[in-house]
Structure 1
Amino acid sequence: MKGETLYRLLADNLPRRAEKIALIDAGRQVSYARLMTEVDRVASWLVGQGVAAGDRVIVHVRKGIDEVAAMFGALKIGAVVVNVNVQWTPTQLAYVAGDCRASAAILGTTGAAGALPADLPLLIREGKKLPSVAARWDDLAETEVAEFAPEPDSLAMIIYTSGSTGMPKGVMLSQRNIRIGALAVAEYLDLSEDDRLLSVLPYSFDAGLNQLTTMLLVGGTVVHQPVAMPSEVIRMAIRHAVTGIAGVPPLWNQIARYLRDAPTPLPALRRITNTGGKIPPDILPLLPQVFPGARIFLMYGLTEAFRSTYLPPERFAAKMGAIGQAIPHAQVFVVKPGIGLAGPGEQGELVHAGPLVSMGYWERPELTAEKIRPCPELASLIGDTPVVWSGDLVRVDADGDLWFVGRMDDMIKTLGFRLSPTEVEDLVSKSGLVTDVVAWGVDDAELGQAVHIAASLGPDATEGAVMAHCRKAMAHYMVPRRIHPWPGAMPRTASGKLDRPAIITACKALL
């Protein structure tokens, strides 16, 4: 059915919004009609290369209008989009292209071409000397292409994980997954066609993709900001009268501090949203101060279940840090394995059911069966319907709102206690002495595991001051046995989160 395809999120804006601005880059903007023309140019090239419905197409283009046109050009002919972040290494790009058996690739520059098979058809936006198999974007003809209408449950996109703990694995999202995700988020954020969302998060990240799809659904405008610098984010927000900004905790950390030191009115801003982890507890109270009048949405999701929970902004002041309850059209449960559902005050693993559950991992049936499987504790409610086991430990409060505790496989076992790294990080952050912090456990003969932290120290802060705060604010078993000072900002993944495995590995190498 045409009405349930991902491509239709864009196409259904015509003809009514033909002249409305759909996308804005730093030096360029396009209307919905002009964007559709670019989409057809890409689709026509793909058809000419023999790409058909179900074939995988790599999109490796810097955030912007061209990236969106490339994705929807592939979607129009029923191909599967595999968006690879431009920050990924050539090795990662080559692996993804081979793993998904790509039929074509659309690149921003010639720089990445050398990582791909020599016979893979390439479409390249910029570059002086193109490989023999490549076409130049500017040479594409403006030819309208017939739309292919895939089934709603067919594969639309493959989103690859960062691969920080191994080679990337591809999460398969259906047409329906992404469309329902757009419907759900647009509903609880109360989005409309007069909204302008600032897009900082990459489209290769499910939360970033959802920003684009929600705006296309309601006929709004996306303002692209590919550089996650606080000053540039705020400058673009002012320049284009942005009504919404989405970010991950490290970005909100930087923006809140920037606006605290340089207060800047943002009269058009209606809402800000967070996903991808917990905002540090010293930053949460700053948000209403630096964004007065804006509604603050704390959200949670994972790629395997696309979008999951949110905390209504009316409860932000009373429940700073909570991830709330299920978004519309989603089902979430907190399970105590072998026992049943967790009640108020109890902890358990967060599991996900419903139409947002992904199709699993690309060509990895064993891994899919391990991650997405029936839950015996839910048999009386949903039967043997497979659910996504998140691996995240959460707590249920008296109102049914959820609080993220930590990754179950990251728990630190010290002196007989099970300790969440997140809890340690939160308490360290409350000192106001650090900008970034990561905690983990190191094997210890006497303690079981010793708590270590890596911390980017703030101006005039010292290791001694941080340790003194920890001894005062923490239970004895939580106090770090070692602080690893980190010079400058900590490394981020392509989606903007702290790259915990890289940080921990670097610190361990110095032990």
Structure 2
Amino acid sequence: MTTQTLVAADTGTDTVHGLLAAAVAARPDAPAVRDASGVWTYAELDAWSRAYADWLTAQGVGHADRILVRVGNTREFTALMFGALRRGIAFVPVNPAMKRFHLNTVVPDCDPVLVIGQNAEDTAILRELTDRPVFELDEVRRGAEALYDAAPAALDEAPVAPDDLGLLIYTSGSTSAPKAVVSTHAPIVFAARAIQARLNYREDDVVLVAVPVSFDYGLYQILLSVIAGAQVLLTSPDRHVRLLGTLHEHRVTVVPLVPSLGEMLLTLARRDRREAPPVRLFTNTGAALTGPVIAQLREAFPYAQVSPMFGTTECKRITVLEPDGDIARPGSVGRALDGTEVLILDDDGRLLPPGTVGEICVRGPHIMTGYWQAPEQTVLRFRPDPVTGEVTLHTGDYGHLDTDGHLYFEGRRDDLFKRKGVRMGTLEIETAALDIKGVTAAAALAPAEGHDLTLYAVTELTADEVLAQLTERLEAAKVPAVCHLLDELPLTPNGKTDKQRLRREQK
């Protein structure tokens, strides 16, 4: 840890904390963030972020240090994040649902100078993984409370620069080993503004964040809401069974969804006889909502539009489809963000024409810096042009563009395959399965050594009935060899189907 106790100054809006400063100047008394225990205005969020920053400074944490924070969807998360970033401290959010198996890698990899856990059980585990100070959130909260009304420290340290490290966001790749995306302030701010320009969150919006804030989809909802001057409503997985009531009680208008959350909302809505809540916009990324699920959302929430998106932590967002744009362009995940470019390249790096499937590659100011302490993986994904030096992000995802620049996602390399001479992807098979009445969730696994194309389905139908109905929707080569029935699909902590676990259980 550094021993300095000086504080970094707020500098403009090319830094993440600069976004908060602008919101405080514009709407100081408007509600900014709410959780189960209360609400803060923008002025209060700013004051609490300074108090948490002062607490971090008092612990000897300084510019360019890293802190690991594992506290879940709480107001304290937002104050800790803005507090760290305003001092030039890198913020490493970790999901409380992350198991020790992955923590064993993550904690030593980011080498934090200080760690914060949400409860005693968490801190006990974390103390076994690091010799750095580990604090329970309640202890940190009490320390910040003591500093909340104190005069702020002198702002005389060098300012935070746009290219300073802001976030290390851990993401799992195909190997299941977590790796951290190095996110400096400038691309974070550019991405947040570009997404907001497409989605147009409003100052009177209430934005539900039920996905983990450690997941970049959840974390960026905070930034989008701050840019708009909207209110963030944080809720945690243990409250999801009351999600529909939450939408009614707080008059929620924007709901970011992953498929598991969308399916839960639909289940709750079918049991509810009240008028639909005033949701005006559903967004989706992380894992795609299928056409049938989108249609059911529109039926259950008649005031809402749906905006499919596509992204990856390495550049935050790649494309955003205008609300209800899928009606005219089924399956599209939208156009590239303004000021960015999406390319479809073949395996030799050559540009492919519209309609041809290839690797989705991206250029623009939203490209992050690379992977933390992983130069080989960085070189593989973040490839500078030999002439211009401009970085092209090779996502490892595959899709095609139409003639108007709208992207259609096909899947990752492992999800695309040939079977019986026919090219196909697991997403197509899953979409067809979810079109069957009574199938509420589905996951397809591509053929692998010792296993043919396999479908996992959540339904009261028999496996034979599911396969029979798939023959009515898919050509013979695309019908799975076997269907396994499950009570529920296994999920990752971020709400995606855990196909790696299904694959392990298949062996």
State the partner residue of 1:427.
Answer: 432
Distance (Å, rounded) in 2 between the aligned partners of 1:259 and 1:155: 42
Q: What are the Cα deviations for residues 195-218 of structure 1, in whole angstroms up to 9, with x where unaligned?
A: 211111222212111110011122
| Distance in 2 of aligned mates of 1:311 and 1:260 | 27
Partner SS for 2:345? strand
Partners of 1:444 and 1:182 in 2: CA distance: 42
Match of 2:49 in 1: 39
Instruction: Tell me what 1:236 maps to.
Output: 246
Q: Check whether the contact 2:211–2:495 (CA below 8 A) recurs between aligned residues.
A: yes
Partner of 1:299: 309
* CA displacement, residues 386-409 of structure 1 (integer Å, 9 cap, x when unaligned): 211111111223433221111113
Alignment of 1:307-326 (within 5 A): 307-326=317-336
Alignment check: 8 A CA contact 1:173 1:358 kept: yes
Map of 1:498 onto structure 2: 497
Distance 1:146 1:418, change over 3 A: farther
Structure 1 alignment gaps of length 5 or more: 128-133
Q: Is the 8 A contact 2:123 2:135 kept in 1?
A: no
Per-residue CA deviations over 1:448-467 (Å, capped at 9, x if unaligned) read: x621111122x3x1111101
Contact 2:88 2:165 in 1 (8 A): no
Change (3 A) 1:80 1:125: same
2:443 to 414, 435, 438: 438
Deviation (angstroms), 1:60: 0.7
Aligned counterparts of 2:415 and 2:206: Cα–Cα separation in 1: 38
Unaligned runs of 5+ in 2: 1-10
Q: Report the secondary structure of 1:455's partner residue.
A: strand
Work out the CA distance in 1 between the residues paired with 2:401 and 2:271: 36
Give a deviation string over 1:38-61, Cα, whole Å, max 9, x none: 222221221122111111011111
Deviates more, 1:397-406 or 1:356-365: 397-406
> How far is 1:477 from its partner?
1.3
The answer to whether the 8 A contact 1:433-1:466 is kept is no
**CA RMSD, aligned part only?**
2.3
Identify if the C-alpha distance between structure 1 residues 498 and 163 changes in structure 2 by more than 3 Å, giving closer, same or farther: same
What is the identity, as a one-letter code, of the residue corresponding to 1:359? T
Secondary structure of the residue aligned to 1:38 is helix
Matched, 1:65 2:71: no
Call closer, same or farther: CA 1:342–1:280 in 2, change over 3 Å.
Answer: same
Shift of 1:438: 1.4
Deviation at 1:21, TM superposition (A): 1.4
Cα distance in 2, alignment partners of residues 146 and 25 from structure 1: 31
Q: Is structure 2 residue 139 aligned with structure 1 residue 124?
A: no
CA change 1:501–1:263 in 2 (3 A) is farther
1:186 is aligned to 196
Matched with 1:287 is 297
Aligned to 1:456: 458
The answer to whether residue 454 in structure 2 is matched with residue 473 in structure 1 is no
1:91 Cα shift? 4.0
**Structure 2 contact 88–164 (Cα < 8 Å) conserved:** no
**1:350 partner SS:** strand
The TM-score, its normalising length taken from structure 2, stands at: 0.90
What SS does the corresponding residue of 2:13 show, helix, strand or coil? helix
| Matching residue within 102, 106, 110 for 2:120 | 110
Matched, 1:141 2:147: yes
**Stretch moving more, 228-237 or 492-501:** 228-237
With over 3 angstroms needed to count, the CA separation of the structure-2 counterparts of 1:13 and 1:396, relative to structure 1, is closer
How far does the alpha carbon of each residue in 1:419-472 deviate from its partner, in whole angstroms, 9 at most, with x for none? 211111111111123222111233468xxx621111122x3x111110111222
Post-superposition shift, 1:412?
Answer: 3.0
Helix, strand or coil at the partner of 1:265: coil
Partner of 2:7: none
Q: 2:244 is aligned with what amino acid?
A: I
Distance 1:162 1:226, change over 3 A: farther
Mark the CA change 1:339 to 1:303 in structure 2 (over 3 Å): closer, same or farther. closer
Determine the C-alpha separation between the residues in 2 that align with 1:406 and 1:160. Answer: 21
In structure 2, the partner of 1:130 is none
Note the 1:387-398 alignment, pairs <5 A. 387-398=392-403
The reply on whether 1:364 has 2:369 as its aligned counterpart is: no
Question: Does 2:225 correspond to 1:219?
Answer: no
- The answer to whether the Cα contact below 8 Å between 2:410 and 2:416 also exists between their aligned partners in 1 is no
1:86 aligns with 2:86: no
Q: Distance in 2 between matches of 1:418 and 1:146?
A: 63
Deviation, structure 1 residue 411: 2.2
Q: 1:505 to 1:400 in 2, by over 3 A?
A: same
Query: Whole-Å Cα distance in 2 between the matches of residues 32 and 17 of structure 1?
Result: 7
Query: Once the two structures are superposed, what CA deviation does each residue of 1:218-268 show, in whole Å capped at 9, x if it has no partner?
Result: 221101121276652221121111121101122212323432453543453
Deviation at 1:297, TM superposition (A): 0.5
Provide closer, same or farther for how the CA distance between residues 112 and 91 of structure 1 changes in structure 2, counting only shifts above 3 A.
Answer: farther
Contact 2:344 2:352 in 1 (8 A): yes
The answer to whether residue 217 in structure 2 is matched with residue 207 in structure 1 is yes
How much has 1:332 moved relative to structure 2?
1.1
Q: Does structure 2 conserve the Cα–Cα contact (< 8 Å) formed by 1:56 and 1:79?
A: yes
Q: Matched residues in 2 for 1:137 and 1:500: separation?
A: 42
- 1:340-379 Cα shifts (integer Å, max 9, x gaps): 3332322111101101111100011111000111469xx8
SS at match of 1:203: coil
Which residue pairs with 2:8 in the alignment?
Answer: none
Which residue does the alignment assign to 1:11? 21
Assess if the C-alpha contact under 8 Å between 1:297 and 1:312 holds in 2.
yes
1:419 maps to a residue whose letter is: M
From the superposition, tell whether residues 262 and 490 of structure 1 become closer, same or farther in structure 2 (CA, over 3 Å): same
Conservation of the 8 A alpha-carbon contact between 2:35 and 2:234: yes
What is the total number of aligned residue pairs between the two structures? 491
SS in 2 for 1:173: strand
Q: Tell me, yes or no, if the aligned pair for 1:325 and 1:400 is still in contact at 8 Å.
A: yes
Structure 2 CA distance, aligned partners of 1:443 and 1:20? 54
Residues of 2 paired with 1:272 and 1:444: CA distance? 39
Letter in 2 for 1:244: V
What are the Cα deviations for residues 262-314 of structure 1, in whole angstroms up to 9, with x where unaligned? 35434532211011122123212222212212221110100011111011125
Counterpart in the other structure of 1:386: 391
